[in-house]
Amino acid sequence: MPILELVLLSTAILLSAGSALLLRAAVQKNHNAGLKLRDTEQKYHQEREARDSAEDALRRAEDERRESERKLEQAQEALQAAEKVRQQAQAEVHSANDARMKAEMEQDAAKEETRQAKEDRAATIRAKEQAEQERDAAFTRAQVAEQAKARAEQELDAVGRQRDEADQARRTAEETARRAVQAKLNAEEQARLALQRAEESKKQAEDERDAVNERALRAEEMQKQAQENLLHANQAKGAAEERARRFENEARLANESTEKAGERARLAEQARINAEHERDIARRECEEANQARGIAEDNARLANERAIRAEELQKQSEEHRLRTIQDKEAAIKRAENAEHERDAAIRRADQTEKEQKRTTKVLERAKKRRRNCSTPAERKGKRSRYKHPSIQFAPRLAKPGIVCRDRNLEWELAVELPDDWLTDTEEPQVQQGDSLLEQEHDLWELKDLRNRITVRSGDKSWEIRLDEREDDYLLFKLSGYDLRYGTRVRSINRGAYLIVVPEAWDRADTNLGSKPEALSIEGYLAYYYVIDRPCKIAFRTPDGNSVEIAQSTTQFELVGNCLPDADEEGCPLFGDALPQIRATNTNAWETVKTIAVGEEGRERKSWKSILITPTPNRAEQGLPNEILGWQASWIFLRFYDENYQLIESADFRLARGLSKIQCNQAYSLPDKNGHSAALVEFHHTTGCVIKSASGIDIVSDGNTTFAEMPASIAFDKTDWEIAPQGHEPIDVTILVERIWWTIGTADKVPAESEWSDKVLQLARTDFDSNSSKVLWIRFPKPRWTNEVLIGFTKEAARPFPVKVAEQLVVIPLCSFESSEPRFRIGVSQFGIWVANSNASLAAMRVQAKCKRCDCMADSMTGFLNHVESHHLDTILQPLTYDEHVKRNPNLTVGLVVCQHSSCRLSWKAHWILDSNASSRAICQHAECKNVDHSVDSDGLANLIKEHIQQKHDAYSRANHSPHLIPDIRKCTLCGWTKESPSLDHLRHHLKEHHLNTLYELC
């Protein structure tokens, strides 16, 4: 026992000594910890000061960058303006050259026309000369005729000397002398006319231009010749007078040789006749020569006018050519000025670019000290444009890869490096082909999509082989709050994508995707697509081939409490609990090595992420519960294989505290009174706050929030904010699915105030073939339905397809022109059938307008009542007595009554009463002693006719039984007759045979 106590005591002493040593060591450690804490606080203060100074430098650099960008934009605008001025100047130079060439062509044409005019004028001169020659020849023949005449007169004088004793020969000689005098007078008249024509030719020749002076000289020569001819004619006149005197003296001697003189006189007479004939021929030839000369003068005048017009055209073309040369010189000057302005703009742009590079370097230095990121204001897939900050956060890739981002109204493709590649001591280098890419913040912008990309950082390297890819397009999966950042993927399935294709490609289906957007790489364009269901996306190449975009089925999906959210481009919204990751195929997990889960849109410095290794052979994988403690509400998932290649990605939003969103709405189509208000319920925890961004009043009882959506198109789609306690708020869009419609024209989209949920009124003419009216239908959202039935009845309704990307449908009313209700009197309902419900869109009223008056009827019964009360007796008239007589010959045809006051005789005549019948009746009544036979039968017949019309009908009906003259109605439209018809018979006849001819639809 003492030994045991000694051992225990020794143990206690040792334990106390050890405790003292441990206590001393703890005190020393605590002291050292205090010293380290002070050092840490000092370093923290120093880092904080350094951070503040870096933030100041960053802000200054940001201001300088904005200023440089503004200057660069101004320089670019100036450069564009200069380029436009230069292009305009070049266009003016081209137009001036075209005008000059046109003027030269017009000048050549004018010269050709002048040459042709000169040739015509020369031909005219030659024709005129030929006419003058012919006229001279005619004058020569006239002179020969005068000489022959003179010879005849000489022979006549010889005969007169031998015929002194013959009175008959003297009388003949006197007659011959008289004729000779007449011939002399004719010659004088011809000479006078020749002189007058010569004077007129002289006046016309004086009016001609210098080119026809030669003709004027020839005309003067002709005038001189005519004067000489006149002188010769005067001389011949004197000789003839002398011969006449000599003949008078020698006439007495001609009596002895009467017989010989008579013979010679006959010969002289024949010679005179021949001379007169030759004179007439010469006169006709002279007239023809004058006509030829007139034609030649007209041709010369026309040639003169053409020459003058050609000279004027040549002068105008010369003036136009001079103006064209002046315009060309001015355009060249403007082009030179534009070139100078463009050079100045280029110099300003270069200077601005240098300033921007200097600002960028300052910004890079500030960034190395502290990376500052900001969350974009727009979220949930909104595509509105805004200017991005200089430093934008994007989730990092596991390996270097190509990403896209929307920057300054265009998409930019760049190389992004993982964080571990950026933390090396050496600066990373990115090379494409033979040139190094410039670093801008954390990205290296690509220059083309053809060359291989090599990345080096320290002892690590990576290659992106763009030159070996089979397809000529790139695919990017967009993510983030605003869908302005994307990572490259191999295929598409569901979500938002950016497809980069050559700019020469066209979309095969223009209804899918957006319009082409600008890309930072020349020769390519970007197309934005949101895919929520399997669809074929293809492009057409310039050679006509079709290129389909690679697609893959979704391998992984998120399952859980998915809440309704009407944001078309947003990711799924889950409430209250984390979703599970479900693989569509169990073998899909064999290709997944790592799942990266992280917060979307936060600064990288505080960005939280988790790497998950999936468990094989499990259909569903859970997410760590620590995600519930994150502040962010937007979570991303990235699935990588063993080579760190991205297999698939997904995003989701988590609304903590919100368990259910319920919209209490009966149908999408309204009843006859229109849409009713819809009640929306939010089921949440006590700390979750529901706020309306659309100004809707809400009522909350702690765990449930109620909101009533008014029956207005403005409240169909409303925005809400879900604010869980201790977490970031999240936006939710609630859609009340209601259908609206209106009537308008196809070229004008209805305004929001024009949409209706009531039954509209349509006229029959709105459905005519030339009608421009259309029916506009507004669905709750795009892709809400594929087809809608429109018509007057469901059996006759026509299907109209609804385009996938459109919310509005336009239906021309003229498509229903041949519908049966348009040809039926009354009110017909024009309705819609969609999604197992129907509603009346409009009411068409068709009325019947009477063709015999302006009465309008809303039903066939009303129209028949109108015809019965107003037009039945005019359409179905009783037969006249003459028509009864034609049907029954036993009826009295005529009644003859003597008009004499003392005669009471009357009788029946069984024939149609006319003038002849009246005459015969009068002849039969001739034995009446009281008839004045001095009146002719026709006069008496006329007296009988006047009286017969008054008494005929009354007498016939009064003296015949009813069965001889029954009640017979005759249709004036078709000749139909009916004896003793009832009102139903008459109405039935009109309805069956003439109803459509009595009215017109309107």
Provide the token pair at 269.
């007479």
Say if residue 378 is exposed, middle or buried (CB neighbours under 10 Å; 0-12, 13-18, 19+).
middle
Provide the token pair at 944.
């009988």
Answer whether residue 891 shows pLDDT above 80: no
Answer whether residue 329 shows pLDDT above 70: yes
Q: Is residue 836 very low, low, confident or very high in pLDDT (cuts 50, 70, 90)? A: confident
How large is the average pLDDT for residues 710-715? 89
Answer whether residue 385 shows pLDDT above 50: no
Say what the pLDDT of residue 413 is.
92
Say what the pLDDT of residue 155 is.
67
Answer whether residue 941 shows pLDDT above 60: no
Specify which of 371-375, 422-426, 498-502, 981-985 reaches the highest per-range mean pLDDT.
498-502
Say what the pLDDT of residue 394 is.
40
Least confident range of 294-308, 674-688, 710-724, 820-834? 294-308
**Mean residue pLDDT across the chain:** 75
Answer whether residue 715 shows pLDDT above 70: yes
Say what the pLDDT of residue 551 is.
78
How large is the average pLDDT for residues 470-482? 81
Contacts of 715 (CB under 8 A, 6+ apart): 694, 696, 709, 736
Number of residues written out for the chain: 1002
How large is the average pLDDT for residues 224-240? 64
How large is the average pLDDT for residues 927-931? 51
Can you tell me whether residue 556 is helix, strand or coil?
strand
Answer whether residue 621 shows pLDDT above 60: yes
Say if residue 344 is exposed, middle or buried (CB neighbours under 10 Å; 0-12, 13-18, 19+).
middle
Q: Which of 729, 397, 695, 383 is nearest to 567 (CA)?
A: 383
Q: Is residue 744 very low, low, confident or very high in pLDDT (cuts 50, 70, 90)? A: very high
Say what the pLDDT of residue 367 is.
46
Least confident range of 283-297, 493-507, 748-762, 885-899? 885-899
Say what the pLDDT of residue 370 is.
34
**DSSP-assigned letters across all residues of 310-376:** HHHHHHHHHHHHHHHHHHHHHHHHHHHHHHHHHHHHHHHHHHHHHHHHHHHHHHHHHHHH-------
How large is the average pLDDT for residues 296-319? 72
The better pLDDT of the pair 505, 344 is held by 505
Q: Is residue 529 very low, low, confident or very high in pLDDT (cuts 50, 70, 90)? A: confident
Are 601 and 634 spatial neighbours (Cβ–Cβ below 8 Å)?
Answer: yes
The better pLDDT of the pair 983, 375 is held by 983
Least confident range of 15-29, 105-119, 229-243, 342-356? 229-243
The better pLDDT of the pair 46, 177 is held by 46
From CA 727, how far away is CA 405, in angstroms rounded? 28
Beta bridge partners of 551: 492
From CA 13, how far away is CA 19, in angstroms rounded? 10
Are 944 and 847 spatial neighbours (Cβ–Cβ below 8 Å)?
Answer: no
Answer whether residue 500 shows pLDDT above 60: yes
Model confidence pLDDT, tens digit, residues 557-568: 889 999 988 876
From CA 560, how far away is CA 563, in angstroms rounded? 9
How large is the average pLDDT for residues 225-253? 64
From CA 922, how far away is CA 940, in angstroms rounded? 8
User: To 10 degrees, the CA torsion angle through 455, 460, 466, 471?
Assistant: -140
Model confidence pLDDT, tens digit, residues 110-148: 677 667 767 776 776 776 677 677 667 666 666 666 676
How large is the average pLDDT for residues 391-410? 67
Model confidence pLDDT, tens digit, residues 189-225: 666 676 676 566 556 656 665 655 666 566 566 656 6
Say what the pLDDT of residue 141 is.
66
The H or E element spanning position 845 is strand 837-846
Say what the pLDDT of residue 681 is.
92
How large is the average pLDDT for residues 62-83? 76
From CA 208, how far away is CA 197, in angstroms rounded? 17
Say what the pLDDT of residue 128 is.
65
Model confidence pLDDT, tens digit, residues 593-610: 888 888 875 444 445 677
Say what the pLDDT of residue 376 is.
32
Answer whether residue 913 shows pLDDT above 60: no
Least confident range of 337-351, 803-817, 822-836? 337-351
Answer whether residue 699 shows pLDDT above 80: yes
Residue 61: C-alpha distances to residues 65, 340, 357, 368, 769 (Å): 6, 33, 11, 13, 67
How large is the average pLDDT for residues 246-275? 65
Answer whether residue 107 shows pLDDT above 50: yes
The better pLDDT of the pair 654, 229 is held by 654
Answer whether residue 946 shows pLDDT above 50: no
Q: Which of 575, 566, 414, 393 is nearest to 482 (CA)?
A: 393
Say what the pLDDT of residue 739 is.
93
Answer whether residue 976 shows pLDDT above 50: yes
Q: Which of 278, 246, 239 is nearest to 146 (CA)?
A: 278
The better pLDDT of the pair 481, 28 is held by 28
